[in-house]
Amino acid sequence: MFHHVKDLQFNARVSRPDPYFANLLLEQFGGENGELAAAMQYFTQAFGAKMPHPDKYDMLMDIATEEFSHLEIVGATIQMLLKGVNGELKDAADQSEIMQVMDGKAAKENIIHQALSANPQFGIITGGGVTPRNSQGIPWCASYIHSNGDLTVDLRSNLASESRAKLVYEHLMKFTDDPYVHESLSFLMTREVAHYKMFEAALNDIQPNFPPGVLASDPRFTQQYFNLSNGATVRGPWNEGEMPDMGKEWNYIADPLAYVQDTQGITATDKTLDKELKQAQKLDKEMSEMRSTEVKNSEPEGVSEWSNYNAPKK
Amino acid sequence: MFHHVKDLQFNARVSRPDPYFANLLLEQFGGENGELAAAMQYFTQAFGAKMPHPDKYDMLMDIATEEFSHLEIVGATIQMLLKGVNGELKDAADQSEIMQVMDGKAAKENIIHQALSANPQFGIITGGGVTPRNSQGIPWCASYIHSNGDLTVDLRSNLASESRAKLVYEHLMKFTDDPYVHESLSFLMTREVAHYKMFEAALNDIQPNFPPGVLASDPRFTQQYFNLSNGATVRGPWNEGEMPDMGKEWNYIADPLAYVQDTQGITATDKTLDKELKQAQKLDKEMSEMRSTEVKNSEPEGVSEWSNYNAPKK
Amino acid sequence: MFHHVKDLQFNARVSRPDPYFANLLLEQFGGENGELAAAMQYFTQAFGAKMPHPDKYDMLMDIATEEFSHLEIVGATIQMLLKGVNGELKDAADQSEIMQVMDGKAAKENIIHQALSANPQFGIITGGGVTPRNSQGIPWCASYIHSNGDLTVDLRSNLASESRAKLVYEHLMKFTDDPYVHESLSFLMTREVAHYKMFEAALNDIQPNFPPGVLASDPRFTQQYFNLSNGATVRGPWNEGEMPDMGKEWNYIADPLAYVQDTQGITATDKTLDKELKQAQKLDKEMSEMRSTEVKNSEPEGVSEWSNYNAPKK
Amino acid sequence: MFHHVKDLQFNARVSRPDPYFANLLLEQFGGENGELAAAMQYFTQAFGAKMPHPDKYDMLMDIATEEFSHLEIVGATIQMLLKGVNGELKDAADQSEIMQVMDGKAAKENIIHQALSANPQFGIITGGGVTPRNSQGIPWCASYIHSNGDLTVDLRSNLASESRAKLVYEHLMKFTDDPYVHESLSFLMTREVAHYKMFEAALNDIQPNFPPGVLASDPRFTQQYFNLSNGATVRGPWNEGEMPDMGKEWNYIADPLAYVQDTQGITATDKTLDKELKQAQKLDKEMSEMRSTEVKNSEPEGVSEWSNYNAPKK
Amino acid sequence: MFHHVKDLQFNARVSRPDPYFANLLLEQFGGENGELAAAMQYFTQAFGAKMPHPDKYDMLMDIATEEFSHLEIVGATIQMLLKGVNGELKDAADQSEIMQVMDGKAAKENIIHQALSANPQFGIITGGGVTPRNSQGIPWCASYIHSNGDLTVDLRSNLASESRAKLVYEHLMKFTDDPYVHESLSFLMTREVAHYKMFEAALNDIQPNFPPGVLASDPRFTQQYFNLSNGATVRGPWNEGEMPDMGKEWNYIADPLAYVQDTQGITATDKTLDKELKQAQKLDKEMSEMRSTEVKNSEPEGVSEWSNYNAPKK
Amino acid sequence: MFHHVKDLQFNARVSRPDPYFANLLLEQFGGENGELAAAMQYFTQAFGAKMPHPDKYDMLMDIATEEFSHLEIVGATIQMLLKGVNGELKDAADQSEIMQVMDGKAAKENIIHQALSANPQFGIITGGGVTPRNSQGIPWCASYIHSNGDLTVDLRSNLASESRAKLVYEHLMKFTDDPYVHESLSFLMTREVAHYKMFEAALNDIQPNFPPGVLASDPRFTQQYFNLSNGATVRGPWNEGEMPDMGKEWNYIADPLAYVQDTQGITATDKTLDKELKQAQKLDKEMSEMRSTEVKNSEPEGVSEWSNYNAPKK
């Protein structure tokens, strides 16, 4: 159950209207890396996490709720950046001033002209208000979020999401010199870093957490690096020497076409790996049983009930 | 700023897994008439309402927050209806039972078979979890919501949204006989009716509220009903007698093609309407000024600040 | 069966090219509140209405056809506002003038420069023509329309659609001072008001029409107003006194968290409502039977045939 | 201006309900190759064609209007195939029969069970009605249509569209044995062939019509066939001998990588083509001037007016 | 299996940054008629063609691979046109210069200002890089491509796709005067013409290839032209005289409404066509058997294997 | 420049048709975590990486090309799983067998029935072929991919993408018992793990790489954990003790509402952090200069040229 408090989590202020920046800022309201995307990603992940991992559920809900609160900060800022637009639109019978503006005569000073140039829908659809779309008008879409029912995967998705969100705030900060707005962006950007660290700590808390999911990798196909893009080839730690934390060496396939031909489409592989393959399969079974049992045991027999209204509260 | 309480607003319970119904119920999680759509619609409308109409802002935020709380109820119910799927997926190394199921041998009893039939992504993408998509897998999209910066329009959008949401719950109730789920649906359906009444009361509270927006209708084009679909024509209160609450009569154009030809594309209209047209234009000006002033006066001079942390709290 | 007459319903004219306004006007061609959306909404609703409600079917088809005719007016206006662009594009071998324009040297006078600034696709995709997209290039999408197989719901969706369409025309009128275009917009805006009144009359003609759909609301959950957004709380007719036309009082829940806790997730409700609940259930059954019979009786036994070519025509 | 006649263009009939086929048929109502796509494609193309090519405008509007009429036939058929569903949904208080069906006990005979399996939204969103979505629930989208302001391109788009639409009807005919439905599909499929021939005749009527658009191809890059997919290579009329109607031979580049290297990225090409290149550029200028003049001359000076209400009618 | 060579197929060069043109050029990277669309269309068609038509499979894969190579050329050009943007964004702590630019003081000379105006996401999302979206920010979408499992249809889709792509390059060439970019565009435009000719030759190579698909048209519905758009009617080769290559005459229906009424919805058609109908049905059967056998015979019995690693290579 | 070799990278084989699994497998052809998404993500990232990081460019292109090769393996497998469908569709004149199947009489044995149930478009749109859509028919969309012009961000996006792709293959392996298909899936799943390790090694190779982007986090907002989701609260390494690799402690805000109130919306923060803030700002400037210079220096003066055809090849 949610509850709303009219105070913003951060004291968002705006020195003066700036519809142009309002439009850029829409990226973080209704864009692919924005606050709604973050909030909905962690919120949906939380449902699946609740039973087997009530501690991670608590964390995901805490952060999801903070992201909803950030969504509100971003929306409030956009609304304040559009001050004047709605009032001007309500003066519906009078178009004289607007038309002057459209001719460029009064453009510099006129907010409504800036609003229309930045985003036509500010003037004709949203009435100078906020909308869950990005800076080019694309409606927010649930394809932006990832929730896959496995914490070793979900938490990695979150590390990537926080990284992108941080970068977008960093970029946005270059495009406003309003010190109040700058401070709000600094707050929001930094919270993405803080969340990153929370998710990193939570992922470390699950062991083993690699590979993501349950199954081990197949030893026959794990070590090859295929040099499929020729020209000036470069070697680096991603294709020579040791694989990170794997106890294995990279196997650099310099001529992948010949390799594929020679191995009959990689089906005729090294027999010495057979033993390792069997071990991997054994590990897969044990891991499967462990993870499966963990989930199944956490689910109640019979009627499911989400909340326990008699539980002692904090 | 949002706050989350782990108790659900309504005590959602589920008697037994039912992936088939879980998929239907996705309509109200991530569908066009679902709880996320309602929550986001009222939430975005609230930003624009805050300044000129703090009372309506309060109402919109109250209801938006309740819709977020309903979203949680729906998600929790879907998650409980999918009990067993995630655990089964975690048993990744063992496919024997699944394949039996795929052949239909154990279909009746097997949850994972039902999950895959109802929604392939339950088995391969969401890991038996909830996702903001509808019953056919379409990702939730911000095109579902309407927020137009004018309360006489927004509140009417909300009356329509609540009507559709109510109907979808009504339909859903036919497809489950789980008494716990039925009770949750009855709660959710009824709340849509309650919200409808809140929005109706709020709309009545704004006077005048018709036509929506600011401008009056143009008297030259207001009264015609064009009979553009011939065959067996029917007359009814929508094309004969008095227009509702308008003090005018319908003007039934039986042969629109001839009418358009005769009136030079409706530009050669009745001269007797000229006086009425002038009155409408005068009214437009007054109304424009009133509504425009109302908004402009509510916006602060200088720096905008969303929250006042020193204000006395309720 | 449709028929097309080359005359426009309204005599759309344009004084001079204005690609900038052409782009804004796309909102009403291919936007969420535009004429295509209206036409397709009423057209699809008409199919379901035909059998039980031939009179409403007639009205829906009349208005749908008028909206298709308005779509043509909007398209013709956009095309005329883009005069010159296509001809310039056909001069494909010569880019000298364009490049001058791109440098801003001849910008003010040059239509093609305006066209590209307003909408890049005018210059490179549509060849200076009309396209069912909105002012930001989003392709029209059937998610914009609502057709739910129940007239008490569909007609309410239509009241909202007409309200939004009216407001968008009102906004658009502020951004052109071409008197011909202004007159066309005034016509189109006013027709939305006229349609509103038609739908209102049709909804009144169905009794009872509340709640939308068939089922009554559950008396246990109907009256509560949850004060979920705290801070400066406001009371108004939407949360105190009588609910509109319900014969009931609002029940203001000042502290929803405590209420939910106390009522075990609102499952432990007032026993005095049991009698009312039984009455509601009885009413539900009667209403269900009535509405179901009405539809079933209107459907033919055996072979279905949509048209009767031997019926006497008006 | 459109007009609607209640008679369908073809006498669509249905022997018995078949929700499963109703869902397949949605492809031609709201799918990528369906009637709405065809109607909107030709309708939008018509606007641009009107001025320079009033004869092609007439043809495009005739066919667009026929496609709207086909859309109605498809919609009517879907509605009749869903007979019974809406009536059953209206029986909202009674779920006993449905639940029996859900258990499979009465599945064979029960329409609503088929409706839900074929398309969950038939039962919970559309109320057993038609919707502009495809057989998998994807909302119709304007990305399906092409209108590029050049008839030599648009007419080729139409030949492709008609080909795909014809094929889809052919496929659909395999999945129904209702003779009435079969007859309607045969009508609709055949009309696509007829339209194909109309567009072909219209394209032939424009000379020259190749290459599409205005500019000639650059002789330096016209004749090469790059053998970029090696393995078992095949030669055929598309890479050896004469290019169709071009008076040129294919130039088969057996080893594209070496060729690109040798020609410095195809910039060091055969000097003997210089003369041909100059000729092409001269032709480009002439063609540009001709096509540009054609369009510009057809556009009126001063005020644009779409219709002439005083013109003599056919 | 794909292989990448770092050399571009064409030596793409750029004289100076031009973010404005970079945005226009996105149409051919991630737009509906762009290189990704072409590559994916031919690539997916190739899978179905492989078995019955290995020669056409070879051609489709050759051209698909060339289109991927063109995608790389377009992407490289966009990246070079955005030179400076990414470096400027990395100077994240310094916003002084940007803000000067935002005020228009240094606008003419400043790349980042142009980048933001042309496409806000260049500055805040892509970091001055390429993205599979169009010039208005719409993400590339698989609805752009057509692959229907029938070469007589697919090749016609390709003729249309190449025509549109050619036209877009023609349009783009008007908006840059960079001679290097112009040359790359001339190369890319011309290759579309060359591909057109390849597809034309391949279609001619299949006989019969009309109507597309397998079934003949129904003689009862083939010849009518419905004059559904009245006003000034025009006759032309698409509605009078002989149908192209059909050995039949157009049947011009001047008054379609009366015709439909008289023929009972076109069900009461000319009895003299019965013989022709029977012949068409006989032809359908023969053609069906032939085409069906062709495909079935090409598919292996038992285990399917895509590649034969022991086959002799070219 | 790309080159295609007809041999698949892995020897994909299929024991018998299985349209049901073909549909599930579409997730990895045209789904959000599939091979096209991976290929396009790394391909677009490569453009931006080329100049400052030619070694990472080489790696990204190698892996992108491998993903295109995997896309081909997945497509080939789907095509083989649909063996028989296209041939059956070509038998267009004969529907007898299909109808038998539709009645369920021959369902078990019949491929086309399975194809239609699994995915209606297999039967009516794709002709039994592959299509870039997911298992529920959603067209592939560029919103799935992330390319942000900063390697510390892009590589983290890739770690998440590979994690999700690995999990989806793991899930898919549960739903087929065809040993050949199983082997292909094991190959594809394992390659995702190998790519994960490559990206991890590449990210480690960039120092410093945290926070992602350029700017340091703001010390005033870095350490707080907001306990926004109350009920049973849990403490763990994500909200108590040391933050991972940050040299700082978590600051657990048990009552965020009071905290926000007390700190005036977190603007009145600890003065002791001022020194740290100044240091962060100094670091920001240095880092900005370093990263900006790195990019700018790598870009050529004057004309940009992507390839150097005279460079010595590997």
CB within 8 Å: C136 and A121:
yes
Task: Write down the mean pLDDT value for chain D.
Answer: 92
C-alpha span between B134 and B150 (Å, rounded) = 29
CB within 8 Å: F228 and B3:
yes
Q: What is the pLDDT of residues C86-131, one digit of tens each?
A: 999 999 887 666 666 555 555 555 888 889 889 999 999 999 999 9
Cβ contacts of B173 on chain D, cutoff 8 Å:
92, 95
Which pLDDT value is given to residue C314?
47
H-state helical runs in C240-313: 256-262, 274-298
Query: Do the Cβ atoms of C33 and C165 come closer than 8 Å?
Result: yes
How far D310 CA sits from the closest chain B CA (Å)?
Answer: 8
Cβ contacts of D61 on chain C, cutoff 8 Å:
4, 6
Concatenated DSSP letters of A80-99: HHTTTHHHHHH-TT--HHHH
Q: What is the pLDDT of residues F71-111, one digit of tens each?
A: 999 999 999 999 999 999 999 887 766 666 555 555 555 88
Which pLDDT value is given to residue A99?
65
Residues in chain F: 314
Query: Do the Cβ atoms of C2 and D65 come closer than 8 Å?
Result: yes
CB within 8 Å: F232 and A7:
no
3-state secondary structure of E226: strand
Residues 124-153 on A with a CB inside 8 Å of F are 141, 143-144, 146, 148, 150, 152-153
Residue F199 sits at φ, ψ, to 5 deg, of: -65, -35
Binned at pLDDT 50, 70 and 90, residue A106 comes out as low
**Given CB atoms, is B17 within the 8 Å cutoff of chain F?**
no
Which pLDDT value is given to residue F27?
97
How far A227 CA sits from the closest chain F CA (Å)?
Answer: 6
Chains that touch A (3 or more CB pairs under 8 A): B, C, E, F
How far F274 CA sits from the closest chain D CA (Å)?
Answer: 54
Which percentage of chain C shows pLDDT scores above 90? 83
C-alpha span between B235 and B254 (Å, rounded) = 11
Query: Do the Cβ atoms of F17 and F82 come closer than 8 Å?
Result: yes
* pLDDT at D184 > cutoff 90: yes
Which of A154, A163, B314, A1 lies closest to F228 in space, CA to CA?
A1
List the beta strands (DSSP E) in chain D: 2-5, 13-14, 224-226, 229-230, 251-253, 304-305
Average pLDDT of the segment spanning A253-271: 91
DSSP structure class, residue F147: -
ipTM: 0.95
Which pLDDT value is given to residue D310?
79
Which pLDDT value is given to residue B96?
66
Residue A295 sits at φ, ψ, to 5 deg, of: -70, -50
Which of E70, E40, E66 lies closest to E161 in space, CA to CA?
E40
Cβ contacts of E180 on chain F, cutoff 8 Å:
303
In this structure, what token pair is assigned to residue A187? 């707050």
Cβ contacts of B6 on chain A, cutoff 8 Å:
1, 61, 307
Query: CB F240: neighbour CB atoms within 10 A?
Result: 14
Beta bridge partners of C13: D305
CB within 8 Å: E3 and A265:
no
Binned at pLDDT 50, 70 and 90, residue E106 comes out as low
**b/e code E28-39 from CB counts within 10 Å (16+ = b):** bbbbbbbbbbbb
Q: Which of residues C265 and E111 earns the better pLDDT score?
A: C265
Average pLDDT of the segment spanning C182-209: 97
Cβ contacts of C314 on chain D, cutoff 8 Å:
none
Average pLDDT of the segment spanning F6-13: 96
Query: CB C247: neighbour CB atoms within 10 A?
Result: 6
DSSP structure class, residue E216: P
Cβ contacts of E301 on chain F, cutoff 8 Å:
none
Binned at pLDDT 50, 70 and 90, residue D314 comes out as very low
CB within 8 Å: C265 and A307:
yes
Residues 218-277 on E with a CB inside 8 Å of F are none
CB within 8 Å: B89 and A64:
no
Binned at pLDDT 50, 70 and 90, residue A304 comes out as very high
Out of F3, F98, F138, whose CB is closest to D174?
F98
Binned at pLDDT 50, 70 and 90, residue A180 comes out as very high
Spell out the residues 6+ positions from residue E222 whose beta carbon is closer than 8 angstroms to its own. D190, D193, D194, E246, E248
3-state secondary structure of E14: strand
**b/e code C261-275 from CB counts within 10 Å (16+ = b):** bebbbbbebeeebee
* pLDDT at C75 > cutoff 90: yes
Q: Which of residues A207 and A272 earns the better pLDDT score?
A: A207
Average pLDDT of the segment spanning F288-306: 92
Residue D270 sits at φ, ψ, to 5 deg, of: -55, 120
Cβ contacts of C197 on chain B, cutoff 8 Å:
238, 243-244, 246
Task: Write down the mean pLDDT value for chain F.
Answer: 92
Which of F41, F146, F131 lies closest to F82 in space, CA to CA?
F131
DSSP structure class, residue C301: S
To test the contact with chain A by mutation, choose from F221, F227, F261, F291 the residue with the greatest count of A C-beta atoms within 10 A, namely F221
Spell out the residues 6+ positions from residue E215 whose beta carbon is closer than 8 angstroms to its own. D170, D173, D189, E284, E287, E288, F92, F93
* pLDDT at D260 > cutoff 70: yes
**B vs F: CB pairs below 8 A:** 81
**Given CB atoms, is C27 within the 8 Å cutoff of chain D?**
no
User: Which residue, chain included where needed, has tokens 């240095």?
Assistant: F286
3-state secondary structure of C245: coil
To test the contact with chain A by mutation, choose from C29, C133, C136 the residue with the greatest count of A C-beta atoms within 10 A, namely C136
Least confident of A40-54, A295-309, B105-119, D160-174: B105-119
Which pLDDT value is given to residue B233?
76
Residue D230 sits at φ, ψ, to 5 deg, of: -90, -175
CB within 8 Å: C76 and D306:
yes
In this structure, what token pair is assigned to residue A25? 């800022």
Q: What is the CA radius of gyration of chain C?
A: 26
H-state helical runs in chain E: 19-30, 35-49, 54-81, 85-90, 96-102, 111-118, 120-124, 151-173, 179-204, 256-262, 274-298
**Given CB atoms, is F183 within the 8 Å cutoff of chain A?**
yes
Residues 278-307 on F with a CB inside 8 Å of D are 307
List the pLDDT tens digit at each of the 314 positions of chain B.
999 999 999 999 999 999 999 999 999 999 999 999 999 999 999 999 998 899 999 999 999 999 999 999 999 999 999 999 999 999 988 776 666 655 555 555 588 888 988 999 999 999 999 999 999 999 999 999 999 999 999 999 999 999 999 999 999 999 999 999 999 999 999 999 999 999 999 999 999 999 999 999 999 999 999 999 987 779 999 999 999 999 999 999 999 999 999 999 999 877 888 899 999 999 999 999 999 999 999 988 899 999 989 876 54
CB within 8 Å: E309 and F93:
no
How far C6 CA sits from the closest chain E CA (Å)?
Answer: 5
Cis omega (within 30 of 0) on the bond before D211? yes
C-alpha span between E117 and F215 (Å, rounded) = 25
To test the contact with chain D by mutation, choose from F68, F90, F125 the residue with the greatest count of D C-beta atoms within 10 A, namely F125
Which pLDDT value is given to residue F271?
82
Q: Which of residues A44 and A117 earns the better pLDDT score?
A: A44
CB within 8 Å: B168 and D3:
no
To test the contact with chain B by mutation, choose from D124, D126, D141 the residue with the greatest count of B C-beta atoms within 10 A, namely D124
Cβ contacts of C312 on chain E, cutoff 8 Å:
none
CB within 8 Å: D48 and C129:
yes
Give the chain B residue whose CA is nearest to the CA of C142: B143
C-alpha span between B155 and A51 (Å, rounded) = 39
Task: Write down the mean pLDDT value for chain E.
Answer: 92
Which of C58, C73, C81 lies closest to C190 in space, CA to CA?
C73
C-alpha span between A73 and A78 (Å, rounded) = 9
Give the chain A residue whose CA is nearest to the CA of F241: A201
C-alpha span between A220 and F181 (Å, rounded) = 16
Q: What is the 3-state secondary structure (H, E, C) of chain B?
A: CEEEECCCCCCCEECCCCHHHHHHHHHHHHCCCCHHHHHHHHHHHHHHHCCCCHHHHHHHHHHHHHHHHHHHHHHHHHHHHCCCHHHHHHCCCCCHHHHHHHCCCCHHHCHHHHHHHHCHHHHHCCCCCCCCECCCCCECEHHHCCCCCCHHHHHHHHHHHHHHHHHHHHHHHCCCCCHHHHHHHHHHHHHHHHHHHHHHHHHHCCCCCCCCCCCCCCCCCCCEEECCEECCCCCCCCCCCECCCCCCECEEECCHHHHHHHCCCCCCCCHHHHHHHHHHHHHHHHHHHHHHHHHHHHCCCCCEECCCCCCCCC
How far E104 CA sits from the closest chain F CA (Å)?
Answer: 23
In chain F, the largest separation of any two C-alpha atoms, in whole Å, equals 84
* pLDDT at A198 > cutoff 70: yes
**E vs F: CB pairs below 8 A:** 273
How far B80 CA sits from the closest chain C CA (Å)?
Answer: 17
Least confident of A78-82, A112-116, C225-229: A112-116
Out of F47, F180, F303, whose CB is closest to E79?
F47
CB within 8 Å: A146 and F164:
yes
* pLDDT at F285 > cutoff 50: yes
Q: What is the pLDDT of residues F231-253, one digit of tens each?
A: 777 899 999 999 999 999 999 99
Average pLDDT of the segment spanning A41-62: 96
Task: Write down the mean pLDDT value for chain C.
Answer: 92
Binned at pLDDT 50, 70 and 90, residue F314 comes out as very low
Cβ contacts of B256 on chain C, cutoff 8 Å:
9
User: Which residue, chain included where needed, has tokens 């009972």?
Assistant: E264
Q: Exposed, middle or buried, C106 (CB in 10 Å: 0-12/13-18/19+)?
A: middle
Task: Write down the mean pLDDT value for chain A.
Answer: 92
- Taking the alpha carbons at both ends of chain A, their separation in whole angstroms is 16
Out of E68, E88, E295, whose CB is closest to F90?
E295
Q: What is the pLDDT of residues D217-239, one digit of tens each?
A: 999 999 999 999 987 779 999 99
Query: Helix B54-81 vs helix B19-30: angle between axes, to the nearest 10 degrees?
Result: 160
Cβ contacts of E257 on chain C, cutoff 8 Å:
1, 3
Give the chain C residue whose CA is nearest to the CA of D296: C87
Q: Which of residues D99 and E275 earns the better pLDDT score?
A: E275
CB within 8 Å: D256 and F1:
yes
